[in-house]
Structure 1
Amino acid sequence: MRTSILDRLASGDLIIGDGAFGTMLQGVGLPAGTMPEAWTLEKPDAVQAVHELYVEAGADYVTTNTFGASAPRLADGGLGGRVAELNRRAVELARAAAAGRAWVAGSVGPTGQLMEPYGPLSVERAEEIYAEQVVALAEAGVDQFVIETHHDADEACAAVRMARRHTDLPIFCTFAFNKRGRTMMGLRPAEAAHRVAEEGGNVVGANCGDGPDAVAAALEAFRAATELPLLAKANAGIPQVSGEATVWDVSAVDMATHARRFVDLGARIIGGCCGTTPAHIAALVGALR
């Protein structure tokens, strides 16, 4: 797929992203408390298989299993010192699954540390952490970055800034909002959009958070504040524990209904977050194409 995803957006196309990754791996045996990124090295076939399911469902891009593949989070998970190795391998698996049928997006999540003055993470250290990861992803061959599930504008923008400084790849940046229209750190969509645009991001949006209604509310606020293309990847509702199973209350059919609403609110990239499956993505494809 040689056409840039930004060219597709500029032509008016709707882009379908993939769905959840961590919860998919949990469904095939990832133990509680084990970081999904560990399976990139320990069970690569399982990781590639999830990507393949999303490609078969019709996703236009798959997202690497690197959400937590920054130095601090890997160190917390017992994988310290393996940032380049793990990010490179994750891209290899995603590219093998995509097989030219889908773009590969490099996932970059929060470091797990709070920014100063609320925690120990300085802007300078955040930039060092993110530079290491985005360079590894770019050198391995991602087509774009998805800097996702962020709560703090300073941290997210450190990642955007490093991706823009070290590459010329498209940059998506998404935040997790609650039903009151704020992130955990009190950030509102309008400020998030302004900051991302200022740092050279190409797409802004909402993912995860408090479910589809929270994503819809964020899209309304984004639409009023920015000309950037909008991305929506809602989770499958709020998880409930039933016995030993975790149950999500938004079905694939429900998600397709929400997706139509997201498009009406201006979203040009639609996918799924926690609890969504290839069935959810196939439903989006069926509803939106």
Structure 2
Amino acid sequence: MPDQLSRMLGERPWLLADGATGTNLYNMGLAPGQAPDLWCETHPDKVRELHRQMITSGADIILTNSFGANASRLRLAKAQDRVVSLNRTAARLAREAVAEVGRAVVVAGSIGPIGEIMAPMGRLTEAEATAMFTEQAQALKDGGADVLWIETVSAVEEMRAAAKAAQTVGMPWCGMMSFEPGGRSMMGVTPPQLASLMDRLPYPPVAYGANCGTGPAELLMAVAGFAASGNERPLIAKPNAGVPRYQDGGLIYDATPEVMAEFGVLARDLGVRIIGGCCGTTPAHLAAMREAMIAAPRGPRPSPERISARIAQVMGPGE
């Protein structure tokens, strides 16, 4: 039996992934510097409510509140012994939100980077990373996740470790890197290099692509690099909603729902199959994206120049 995500990709031209978790929880009262993952146990109703809002806005894929729930990151909050309970709870809360609706929604178990530099530049070995990812992946599986969603990675070694973890626990997975404005990840990986890696992995992903970054235009440039690689695996594009600023006690990002809606249409026309938003993307952004992607007629594959021009046009002067 194909997994739920693969089935839905087989039935539809594109799927809408959800928006930000941390940013939206911060605007719901999460304290600065507090680990969002801990809210799965301290504020489960708010986490579940955020999932509901994303689903109501049209999300076909929702991410669990577990991005930083690995042993290394949780050590900063003295919660490294709670990896299993936090990830199981994160998956269960998302599962409960999905159970309330009468349509198919994929629960994607969010796994972010471990937060340490990989060897040989740093001290974290691939074996250690694989063990940490495996602990998190197994707990997400046990909690009811449909697929593992490995995101914001910057090193080839870390992506390989995450793929091994997915294989160990027998879960389908998706993998994303975050790319800087110069077109490389923080550890120097280019989009064509990531595409090549995905083709060579013994346990390849259902889909792959880019997330986070500095905004929709830059992320679409990275995705264009995947499309040009010749890799036919489904692509994912999930950019930040621009650049953040503090306003009225909360974080506001400069890409409006109209900007993210334009991004969604451009991503769709570029051939991206899974389209969503990362940091700063609210349910309002998501609803605008879905509406635009349904309403706008299919256009030709946009060139890099058209991508830049269209995003700049909807951003407006001075932004």
TM-score computed with the length of structure 2 as normaliser: 0.87
* CA drift at 1:153: 1.2
Matched residue SS, 1:267: coil
Number of matched pairs: 287
1:181-234: CA deviations, max 9, x gaps?
Answer: 111111101111221232211211111111111111111100011111100011
Distance 1:194 1:29, change over 3 A: same
Task: Measure, in 2, the Cα distance between the counterparts of 1:39 and 1:10.
Answer: 35
| 2:154 corresponds to 1:151 | yes
Counterpart in the other structure of 1:36? 36
Matching residue within 249, 252, 277 for 1:247 = 252
Matched residue SS, 1:37: helix
* CA drift at 1:12: 4.4
Paired letter, 2:52: E
| 2:54 corresponds to 1:54 | yes
Counterpart in the other structure of 1:97? 97
| 2:218 corresponds to 1:214 | yes
Paired letter, 1:233: K
Counterpart in the other structure of 1:118? 121
1:232-276: CA deviations, max 9, x gaps?
Answer: 011110112347443211011110101111112221000110001
CA contact (8 A) 2:112 2:150 kept: yes
CA RMSD of aligned residues (A): 1.5
TM-score computed with the length of structure 1 as normaliser: 0.95
Unmatched runs of 5 consecutive residues or more in structure 2: 295-319
Counterpart in the other structure of 2:180? 178
Paired letter, 1:23: T
Task: Measure, in 2, the Cα distance between the counterparts of 1:173 and 1:35.
Answer: 23
Matched residue SS, 1:246: strand
CA contact (8 A) 1:219 1:266 kept: no
Paired letter, 2:135: E
* CA drift at 1:165: 2.8
CA contact (8 A) 1:18 1:63 kept: yes
The equivalences for 1:124-203 within 5 A come to 124-167=127-170, 169-199=171-201, 200-203=204-207
Paired letter, 2:218: A
Paired letter, 1:251: T
Larger radius of gyration: 2
Task: Measure, in 2, the Cα distance between the counterparts of 1:117 and 1:165.
Answer: 24
Paired letter, 1:210: T
* CA drift at 1:3: 6.9
Paired letter, 2:107: V
Task: Measure, in 1, the Cα distance between the counterparts of 2:251 and 2:90.
Answer: 26
Matched residue SS, 1:231: strand
Task: Measure, in 1, the Cα distance between the counterparts of 2:84 and 2:222.
Answer: 34
